[in-house]
Amino acid sequence: MSDSWRRHGLAAVSGFLLILSFPKFGHWSVAWIALAPLLMALRGASGAESFRLGYVAGAVSSLGILYWTALVVIQYGGLSLPVGIAVMAALCLAVALFPSLFAWLVGRWHGAVGDRALLLAPVAWVATEILRAHTLLNFSWCLLGYSQHANLPFIQIASFTAVYGVSFLLTASSATVAYAAVATRPSQRRTAVGGMALLVAAVFVHGSWALRRPVEGAGPVRVGLVQGDIRQDQKWDAGRAWVNVDRHLDLTRRAAAQGARLVVWPESAVPFYFDRTPAFADEVRELVRRYRLYLVFGNDDREDSRTGEYRIWVGAKLVDPDGRVAMRYHKIRLVPFGEYVPVQTVFTFGGRLTAKLVEEVSDFTPGTEYTLGTVDGHRLGAFICYEAIFPDLVRGFAARGAELLVNVTNDAWYGTTSAPYQHLAMAAFRAVENGKYLVRAANTGISAVVDPRGRVVEKTRLFEPAVLVREVAWVPGGTFYTRHGDVFAWGCLGAAVAFTASTWRRRR
């Protein structure tokens, strides 16, 4: 086997190990060594070859983790099989650019300082993760740290670093394995392994201490999560519209009978505009008045203009016990290829072709404001669906005073693929990062209550109607991350840029 084939084989192995690090098919333990084969392949590789090796690992892992996007655009987006697969492949190949950049950085550093550069890999990996969250498609689905959602002691550092600190730890583990495998002197191996052991021990001790700490809340509230289980092909069926409404109303009555004060419906819970459908609005107002409930529910808003043009926002509303709309939030970050088409000029060949992709995908307007709702004098922040994967966005609600995080989502699009499990795993991190309870109402599941330490206290099963009623606490204040944001991740990016610049000077 040629050296090139061996290197590319190692890169592909890392790609497969990354797939096996995430739910529903993988296990968190795999993530601790997933990048080691790629790092070993980078030793002695040129800049171009390093980039290719990273692309192989990124493409393999993206295809295995994001395969479900093809199902969404084909089954529910109306695209043909070839076009749907092409869209999925385009997304995966775009995401693969970030592991490519990571590999290029490590390869370049290795050329400058030798095998010690492997131990700098965590800085490079986090640098590319923060870039992935803020450039190109802003699609930070399944960052490496999310694999540890069930490994509770090791995710408590997220209250300082967000998910990026966990990614740093996992990459450091792979880097130590790779360095120990190639180190020429036993003392180098012992130093690297010993340093990693101390880091792991420190994170574990801190996490175990944090898990034992009681949650200091400002008072309890009983929350009812309504899971209507409306299949995606039935959600917008005009003949079933009032049947779907009645199901949500009935489940809400069940939640009220169990003492719920705050009830949460999923994203796009009903196919009506609240402001334009008096019959539906009256039903909701009568319900909240009768049971003295606060109701959060996903519901879009539309604004028409005199020219015939209109704008639609993906929205969430809070109706108070007097029937008034007390909060109206518009989704800030939209789903690429689901709620808007990124770089439309590319997918329409510069506007010369009205691509079916653009015709089928809804073109929503992004919101601009972090709107909070008030329940009995306490504030909540409600964010919608895929917004749960963005640490900085959810932090925006907590930093503005939210004492409870509410996620409304519709995961019916994903069927029984890995996506609903991945989505919940990512959402759970937002609770840890901000030290808040998170309650999540999902149309077909998985609805859940997550405590401020990331424990999934209770959850529903997929594709069954359910009501989950649980008492949670309002938690004022915030964590280091809430107050200071992504200083850790941006610091890693700054360090990566500085070190790369130093290698340039050294070569010159």
Res 306: pLDDT: 78
Asked which of 203-217, 234-248, 294-308, 314-328 is least confident by mean pLDDT, the reply is 234-248
Residues 87 and 192 in one domain: yes
Residues 423 and 359 in one domain: no
The predicted model gives 440-446 an average pLDDT of 95
Residues 195 and 226 in one domain: no
Catalogue the active-site residues: 267, 331, 385
Domain contains 480 = no
Does residue 310 contact residue 303 with C-beta atoms inside 8 Å?
yes
Q: What is the count of structural domains for the chain?
A: 3
**Residue written as token pair 């969404």:** 72
Residues 304 and 198 in one domain: no
Res 136: pLDDT: 82
Residues 447 and 388 in one domain: yes
Please give the DSSP secondary-structure letter assigned to residue 115.
G
Please give the DSSP secondary-structure letter assigned to residue 136.
T
| Residue 17: pLDDT over 80 | yes
| Residue 237: pLDDT over 80 | no
Asked which of 238-247, 254-263, 309-318, 321-330 is least confident by mean pLDDT, the reply is 238-247
Res 3: pLDDT: 84
Residues 64 and 178 in one domain: yes
Distances (CA, A) of 64 to 11, 89, 174: 14, 11, 20
Residues 100 and 134 in one domain: yes
> In whole angstroms, what is the distance from residue 435 CA to residue 210 CA?
11
Domain contains 359 = yes
79 or 246, higher pLDDT: 246
Domain contains 63 = yes
Q: H or E segment at 60? A: helix 47-65
| Domain containing residue 372: CATH number | 3.60.110.10
Res 1: pLDDT: 61
Domain contains 464 = yes
Residues 152 and 194 in one domain: yes
Domain contains 291 = yes
The closest alpha carbon to 44, from 2, 12, 7, belongs to: 7
Strand ordering across the sheet containing 294-298 = 325-330, 315-319, 294-298, 262-264, 220-227, 466-473
Share above pLDDT 70 across residues of the chain, in percent, rounded to a whole number? 93
Res 352: pLDDT: 44
Res 271: pLDDT: 81
Residues 204 and 324 in one domain: no
Helix (H, G, I), strand (E, B) or coil at 68: helix
Radius of gyration of the chain (CA): 24
Q: What is the mean pLDDT of the chain?
A: 91
Helix (H, G, I), strand (E, B) or coil at 325: strand
Domain contains 109 = yes
Summarised one tens digit per residue, pLDDT across range 391-431 is 999 999 999 999 999 999 999 989 899 999 999 999 999 99
Tokens encoding 271: 């196919």
Asked which of 75-79, 214-218, 374-378 is least confident by mean pLDDT, the reply is 75-79
Residue type, 403: E
Domain contains 433 = yes
179 or 303, higher pLDDT: 179
Summarised one tens digit per residue, pLDDT across range 334-383 is 887 667 666 555 555 454 433 444 444 457 889 999 999 999 999 999 99
The predicted model gives 7-17 an average pLDDT of 97
Residues 165 and 276 in one domain: no
Confidence of residue 15 (pLDDT cuts 50, 70, 90): very high
| Domain final residue pick, 366, 386, 418 | 366
Residues 40 and 155 in one domain: yes
Residues 228 and 209 in one domain: no
Res 354: pLDDT: 39
> In whole angstroms, what is the distance from residue 144 CA to residue 136 CA?
18
State the CB neighbour count (10 A cutoff) for residue 464: 10
Domain contains 160 = yes
The predicted model gives 187-195 an average pLDDT of 94
The predicted model gives 138-163 an average pLDDT of 97
What contacts 346, CB < 8 A, 6 or more positions away? none
Q: What pTM value is reported for the model? A: 0.93
Host domain of residue 357: 334-366
